[in-house]
Amino acid sequence: MARESQAFQREPLVSSEHEVVALVAHELRHPLTAIEAALPLMDAPQPETRQKARRVVERQVMYLRRLVDDLLDAERARRGTLQLETRAIDFRSIVADVVSMFRARVQERGVDVAKEAPTRPVVVRGDPVRLQQVVANVLDNAVKHTPPGGSVRVHLATHAAHAVLTVRDTGDGIPPDVLPHIFEPFRHHGNGGGLGIGLNVARRLVELHRGRIQAHSAGAGQGAEFVIALPMAER
């Protein structure tokens, strides 16, 4: 009886470990396949073909680098060993940098991105690299889950001594049964690839900044909204 209940308790953990391994293997396979296909083309007689192949390899290696870095961060988040190098920064510049990083991709995808921010600095104490990572994760999701013709609105404001960033999209939305779990590690659902760890790491990083991140969606097909609130630096 005791053994039985132990086995029963253990089972979901084992199956989720299997799921994690399957998910990671699946995500690694795509870039590897693309690199394998590009390698022979790097010796092609036409310079354009060689150049194209080189760009594929560069892009896929970058993607692999991000996957591995994300995995390491997820593990650091789990152990509580993520570290910040904080200083006073204007959160507007972080948001502007990330939005401009995404410009080419959203144009290619046919998604409209609009950004609004206050005219005065929005100073927070934080790690610029980590905050950029948080905003990029949320924006990446919004773009990934918004079909061509849709839009993403990035809105920065201040409210009650907090910098409040809202990223709202008109895309796939999040079903009510999925919504409570999206910040858990290795929760991946719906369109686009991914390991399902971006939001988990983002939430940990926001919490390390004494902030909060919340998700809202009226359901499938209804778009989604992510709100990040960070305490502003004392003046």
- Count the residues of the shown chain that bind ligand ADP, applying the rule CB under 6 A: 23
Lookup: tokens for 174 = 């999040």
Residue with tokens 């009226």: 218
Question: Which residue minimizes CB distance to ligand ADP?
Answer: 194
Of all residues in the shown chain, the one whose CB is closest to Mg ion is 198
For the bound state, the minimum distance from the C-beta of residue 185 to ligand ADP, rounded and expressed in Å, comes to 8
Q: Is 165 left (phi over 0), alpha (psi -120 to 50) or beta?
A: beta
142 binds ligand ADP (CB under 6 A): yes
Q: Quick one: the chain helix, strand, coil %, rounded to 5?
A: 55, 20, 30
Find the part of the chain contacting ligand ADP (CB under 6 A) among 6-14, 49-57, 139-147, 204-212. Answer: 139-147
- Residue corresponding to tokens 């949320």: 138
Nearer to Mg ion, 194 or 223 (CB): 194
Three-state DSSP class for residue 235? coil
174 binds ligand ADP (CB under 6 A): yes
Total Cβ atoms within 10 A of residue 232? 20
Contact between 197 and ligand ADP by CB under 6 A: the answer reads yes
Q: Shortest CA distance to 155 belongs to which of 227, 102, 105, 209?
A: 227
Among ligand ADP, Mg ion, none, the one that 190 touches (CB under a kind-dependent 5 to 8 A) is ligand ADP
141 binds ligand ADP (CB under 6 A): yes
User: Token pair for residue 19?
Assistant: 């799921």
Task: List contacts with Mg ion (CB under 5 A).
Answer: 141, 194, 198
Enumerate binding residues for ligand ADP (CB under 6 A).
Answer: 137, 141-142, 145, 169, 171-174, 178, 182, 187-190, 194-200, 224
